[in-house]
Structure 1
Amino acid sequence: MDNKRDKLVGGGPQSAGIQSVEIGMTVLNAFAASSGAMSLKQVSQATSMAPSKVHRYLASFVRSGMLIQNATSGLYDLGPTARRLGLAAMGRLDAFTVASNGLLKLRDLTGHTVCMAVWSESGPILVRWESGQEPLILSLRIGSSIPLLDTSIGQTFLAYLPSSITEPAVKLQQKLSGTPPTRTVLDQAELDQIRSSCSTYTSSAMIKGVDAIAAPVFEAPNRLFSVITLAASHRSMQGAKLDKARQQVEAIAREISLELGCPQGWRAAP
């Protein structure tokens, strides 16, 4: 690193840091967000830094093992030191706690009731529930099974899990319900729409007058970990309020996914 550029930044002892280290992290983050090796030009574009400046950081990271450079192509990629750090960090990560903290943040941000579901052999089950400021009369409790076809939670799982996993659960739920199913599957257009929308909205799906917005949470490497959901009265989910709530749910889902190590946040292929 260029010691002349190691300037202290921040407003005081609590926030002081070394500027060159923070700039270096921008370079490493570009590799974390990339799907593969990168050229000097690509790193320069991704970081909005001059190639000459980027090259100095790349050279230092190669010497430290954070990056490697292919002798034939000249491309750079994450190196053995970065892999060791990543494995150590993932080994110490409590994914459920990370997701739960994000869920609490969503509740405090919106004031609405929030919940989290994970996958089981019988479909989604509720594992966390936090009530909001608006009272909702719901029969759900921790451990409740969530219908797949008609709820925002269920549809999100259907969109991001392989059909080989979800189809047996759909059949089991229909068998246990004891009533003829209104439909047996979501068509491809519906699944594509859910994935492209980033969140799923349903109105009065389980409880009349209660709407829900669900978004997927991913962990490395792009595995669906859970689905977080915001629930509110139908009158609270109209027009601009609905748009804002969807943006907030999506933002928190992305934050959790990034913290769990999903490089792209949460736009992962099923």
Structure 2
Amino acid sequence: MTRQPATRLDPEADTAPEQRSIQSVVIGFRLIEALEAAPGPLSLKELAAAAGMPPSRAHAYLASLRAVGLVAQDGEGGRYDLGPRALSLGLAALGRLEVRDAALPAMRRFRDGTGEAVHLSVWAGQAPVIVSRLDGTRGGSLSIRIGTMLPLERSASGRIFLAFLDEADAGARERLGETVDRVRADRMAMTDGLLNAGFAAISVPVFDHLGEIAGAMTTLGAAGHLDTSPDGPAAEALRAAGESASAALGYQPESNAEPEGR
């Protein structure tokens, strides 16, 4: 007697249990992605449509996602939203992001596109300290070693922190007055020969997911060689690099229109 092959009632079923489990996670995650993209809580019908599956199937997956806290439901049969576990996972992931790692790809693009040197500084209690650098490929750039502490008033990086970090020296902020106000308004600081004679600098802030300053990205070059005009190619490229690094840290300008650090 010839043995007939088993009929596969579920076209998404796989012969290996491991494959079925992986596929279930992928399918269930479509519901998480739909909730992430939604402006607010969704009904079962709305959520199923957004995830591209029948409501009955979505309901089965949602029961499991609710059990582990990835999805929450407002009352019996109410609308669905992301649950507390989704929030804690997101915050844990954000907490693991190092500003150096987030900024490095943007710094490379800036250096490769402009040929200028670029470095990143973070707040170290009383002043910014350089934690990452990429040397320029063009002549006339100045290499500053990692670990260098930068003065608040005489460096472009320091002025960025004065403009956006509340705990920075209030006395220095008051002494610079309108200069700090302009840095805050422009989201860019420029200095020429203040820290190193014959060298100019441009610096922009890098914000984290809370809209707080996480670092300052700065390019430094020979005065007259580095174009420090606000709408010049170096300034525009550095601004784009700072925005890219901020986005990598979870910063969303539309929800953080006014960064903290007044």
* TM-score category, normalised to shorter length: 0.5 to 0.7
Residue 145 of structure 1 corresponds to 149
Task: Assess if the C-alpha contact under 8 Å between 2:203 and 2:219 holds in 1.
Answer: yes
Alignment of 1:32-181 (within 5 A): 56-57=49-50, 63=62, 78-136=82-140, 138=142, 140-162=144-166, 164-167=167-170, 170=172
Aligned to 2:176: 186
Letter in 1 for 2:50: Y
Q: Which whole-Å CA distance do the structure 2 matches of 1:30 and 1:152 have between them? A: 40
Structure 2 CA distance, aligned partners of 1:26 and 1:197? Answer: 36
Shift of 1:134: 2.2
In structure 2, give the amino acid aligned to 1:258: A
Query: Structure 2, unaligned stretches of length 5 or more?
Result: 1-25
TM-score (norm 1): 0.63
Which whole-Å CA distance do the structure 2 matches of 1:128 and 1:198 have between them?
21
The aligned counterpart of 1:263 is 252
The offset of 1:193, in angstroms, is 2.1
Output the CA distance in 1 between the equivalents of 2:41 and 2:186.
32
Structure 1 or 2, whichever has the larger Rg, is 2
Amino-acid identity (%) = 27
Scaled by the length of structure 2, what TM-score is found?
0.64
Contact 1:214 1:230 in 2 (8 A): yes
Cα shift readout 1:155-187 (whole Å, capped 9, x = no counterpart): 10000111x44237x5xxxxxxxxxxxx96222
Shift of 1:138: 4.1
Quote the Cα distance in structure 2 between the aligned partners of 1:112 and 1:54. 48
**Alpha-carbon distance between aligned partners in 1 of 2:124 and 2:140, rounded to the nearest angstrom:** 26
1:116 shift after superposition: 1.1
Tell me the amino acid that sits aligned with residue 57 of structure 1.
A
Q: 1:122 to 1:94 in 2, by over 3 A?
A: closer
Contact 1:122/1:145, CA 8 A, preserved across alignment: no
Instruction: Determine if contact 1:150/1:205 at 8 Å carries over to the other structure.
Output: yes
Correspondence for 1:232 among 212, 216, 221: 221
Task: Give the drift of 1:115.
Answer: 0.8
Distance of aligned partners of 1:216 and 1:102 in 2 relative to their CA distance in 1, 3 Å threshold:
same
| Cα distance between partner residues in 2 of 1:118 and 1:269 | 16
Preserved contact between residue 134 and residue 232 of structure 1 (Cα < 8 Å) = no
* Counterpart for residue 36 of structure 2: 28
Distance 2:195 2:96 in 1: 37
Once the 2 structures are TM-superposed, how far is the Cα of residue 127 of structure 1 from its aligned partner? 1.9
The verdict on how the C-alpha distance between 1:76 and 1:224 changes in structure 2, with shifts beyond 3 A counting, is farther
Matched position secondary structure for 1:245: helix
Return the offset for 1:69: 7.4
